[in-house]
Structure 1
Amino acid sequence: MQLAQRAAGISPSPTLAIDAQAKAMKAKGVKVINFSAGEPDFGTPEHIKQAAIDALAAGFTRYTPVAGIPELRQAICASLAARGVTYEPADIVVSCGAKHSLYNAMQVLLNAGDEVILSAPYWVSYYEQVKLAGGVPVVVTTGPDTGFKLTPGLLEAAITPRTRLLILNSPCNPTGAVYSREELAALAEVIVARDLIVISDEIYAALLYDGLTHTSIASLAPEVKERTILIDGVSKTYAMTGWRIGYAAAPRPVAKAMTDLQSHSTSNPTSIAQKAAVAALTGSQEAVEMMRREFEQRRNRILAGLRELPGIECNQPGGAFYVFPYIGKLFGRKFRGRVLGNSTDVATALLNEFQVAVVPGVAFGAEPYLRLSYATSMDQIEAGLERLRAFVTELE
């Protein structure tokens, strides 16, 4: 049976594929250190789980409004107001995870041939979702010299008459880079002047370190907000990855189009998960701060450990829960008779020979790097660092 061209052109998510391989190895009794998954290892806070249990007991198991129940959309508005940006419930579309929200946004915004600027390193699904919507990904490479952040000059140089959209991600997956208010304001000048649309992926907004604060580009000015689709969700902040609740806050016509599209695909998100999300957003935030502090300690440890390894360099991430070490000095060296030529070679050797799961930088449009998630225990981090040291020491 012949597949549609758009299906044949899809590349599977490398992060999920590596995570699945690592979990399959664990299921067979292999002691894998899994640095591949962007998934908090904490349990969902009890009051959030209880809200779902209460919803079940109350029989809240039927269809809901496509864009989400009113109390959840109102809770999202209140949460965003704390970021300095005001929305009404009609501007909010709740979907089956932030990834689903991103997909919906690109489907309703892009026409065939529209160009979308991606700042590399970029999250793996942006590229594929742009292609699925008929768009053309335009990759702008950034590096340690700019803190892995897009600059106004780089943005301006990438714009063509076909440019439609820019995707921003702060804090960033995979680098942990955080844009300051001043940096966003400088980008916004170009965005407004060139009449671009911005998708602002803010899923890691609550996970910031070193006293950094989050700025949403939509909060800068009305003319910026009217060009912005803000994406967020409860997965990372509240350890609710499997609950699948994300949302978009968008100009009213875009929100309506996304709702209409969703009505013909998934309909509403899961009813009881929506009730749990209300509890997450409106209840105590103590668990969020506890997790944030723990992630910061883990970041400090894995960063220090990586920097001690010969041939590895690493920028300090300001948010999210990833490190993105430079491994270019390992290329050309031999591991058990085989020359390491790229990040995939390194990641494959680490998984197969040392049972350490990492994601090669090429998945994020960036050689020569690896992505390691520190959303795992300190014991696992220590064990993983020991195995990484053994690998690097063995290189010829």
Structure 2
Amino acid sequence: MLQNFRSYEALDIPFQAGIVVIAGPNGAGKTNLLEAISLLAPGRGLRGARATEWGRRQGVESLPWTIAGHFDSPAGPVTIGTGQESGADRRGFRLDGAPVRSQAELSAHFAALWLTPQMDRLFQEGASGRRKFLDRLVWAREPGHAREVAAFEAAMAQRNRLLAEGRRDARWLAALEDTMARHAIAAIAARRAAVAQLNGALAGGVAGAFPAARLELLCPLAGALNQHPALAVEEELRAGLAADRARDAAAGSARQGAHRTDLRLLLLPRDIPAELCSTGEQKALLTSTILAQAALVTAHRGLAPLLLLDEVAAHLDPGRRAALFAALAALPGQCFLTGTEPAPFAPLEGRAEFFAAQPGTLCRDADFPVSPGP
């Protein structure tokens, strides 16, 4: 259910099939709907926007917005809601109508993974986007990972500010560096474990007929964890941060830490880096990774994540589209697929619900029979 969200004044519609296809022209609100669903999970959603950007525009003003979703989960029915109060920059959350103290409480009931056309640029842009992509994969499986990353970044921001202002209070800096070291190693250890698990799942063929892939974590601290106990690596980072104060003050940022992690995807069997692959191969590599992580999350948490795949079929040939549809049909979770026209999704007829997107609303596509429930 949506109210005053992006292009939607109001929407109240059930999605009952395991696979939901939403087709319509550009600008019809398909991505807006997926973004709304993604905001029921912790974080800032698939666009990473601010709360003040989500409200429907009325003249020059942005209206307060709300989103709610009813879910059937392993623990039983649950309702998750989020929204913005009038004039507020922050949003609130509710679980079965009651306020929650933190977004982490939602993680026990709902997880989501997504692919968007903007993620096609992951391999041409800087490490930050790839790191955020990896972190989203990690916290779908380990919700506490988000707290580790946030705590590290908050401590680093304070240290950067102190160094920039020339305030060299040794005890204050040491306390911040201790916080940075503890949370950095915890975050990097979680990323390292996630990459190892994903590679195991990909090698085991969990992504079906999609191309074989391997992930590499590019991070000196992850390499150190391969050789030494976590406490020893943490102490080494703590000492390194203290020794780097003058250098970091001049550079305006820390030379070492969890913010220096990068990720590389390789197309097997020839170990071709994703940045050298075609657009279709890159899309296939990302899709393989998302499918593998969905299987891992389901096995680990007993909670299948929702998959939000925006324009995912655009760069896939018919063979890979067929492989994607087969993989999605085998997953226990619900999946949303969008495209500008329904024709590429025709093989899903009878297995999916089809909707036609029009500005501000959705309606069932009369050309496709209604699928039974999941």
Q: TM-score band (shorter)? A: under 0.3
Q: Which has the higher strand share?
A: 2
TM-score scaled by structure 2?
Answer: 0.24
Higher relative CO (Cα under 8 Å, sequence separation at least 6) belongs to 2
